[in-house]
Amino acid sequence: MTVSIDNDGRGGVTIGGARYLLIRPETLAAVQKAIEAALGPRAGECLAAGGRAGGARATVTLTGTTEERARQLAATGAAIGWGQFTLERLTSDGLVVTVRRSPFAEAYGPSPAPVCHLTRGVLEALAGVTLGRRAQVTETLCAAMGAEHCRFEARPA
C-alpha cells in the first residue's frame, strides 16, 4: 500500500487530508523524560492517551476489512517515520504488532521499561476498531530494553 504525503508549500503536511507534523524523535524523548520526572509511572499513560487521540482520528479514515484497516494504519505509521510495522496476528480476541526501528525507543536510549507509549496508544485505538470493543495494549518487548524490536499485544479490556 502506498501512502500519499502532501506538502502544501505553506507549512502544512497532510496524509489523506489529515494534518501531520514532522518532529525530531529526540524532541519527543526529551518531552517524555520531563513528563516522567514530573509524574513518575503515570507519565506513560499520559503519552498513551495522546497516542489514542491521534489513533482515533487516524482510524476513522480506514476502509475495508478488519485486516485491511490494520495494514493501512501500519503502512501510514511506516510512511510517517514511526518504524516498520508488521501485523503478526489479528484474531477476534487479539492483535499483535511488531515495530522495528521505533524512533521512540531509538531516541529514548536504554531503559529498564518499555518506552513506546505513543505507539501503544495508537494501537489501542486501532485494536478498539478492529476488535469491536475497547482493548488494552501491552508493549511486551521494547528496543530501548535491548530487544531486537518492539512488540505490542492487544486484548479486549
Q: What are the angstrom distances between the C-alpha of 56 and each of 50, 62, 84, 134, 149?
A: 10, 10, 20, 12, 24
Whether 76 and 15 have beta carbons less than 8 Å apart is answered as: yes
What single string gives the DSSP state of each residue in 53-104? HHHHHHHHT--SSHHHHHHHHHHHHHHTTS-EEEEEEEETTEEEEEEES-HH
Mean of pLDDT values over 31-52: 96
In the numeric block, which cell numbers belong to residue 53? 487521540
For residue 87, is pLDDT > 80?
yes
pLDDT tens figures, 45-81: 999 999 999 999 888 888 888 889 888 888 888 888 9
In the numeric block, which cell numbers belong to residue 4? 500519499
Please report the domains of the chain, with CATH numbers, ordered by start residue.
Answer: 25-156 (3.30.1380.20)
Task: Work out the number of other CB atoms within 10 angstroms of the CB of residue 26.
Answer: 13
pLDDT tens figures, 137-155: 999 999 999 999 999 999 9
- Pick from 2-6, 61-65, 75-79, 131-135 the range whose average pLDDT is largest: 131-135
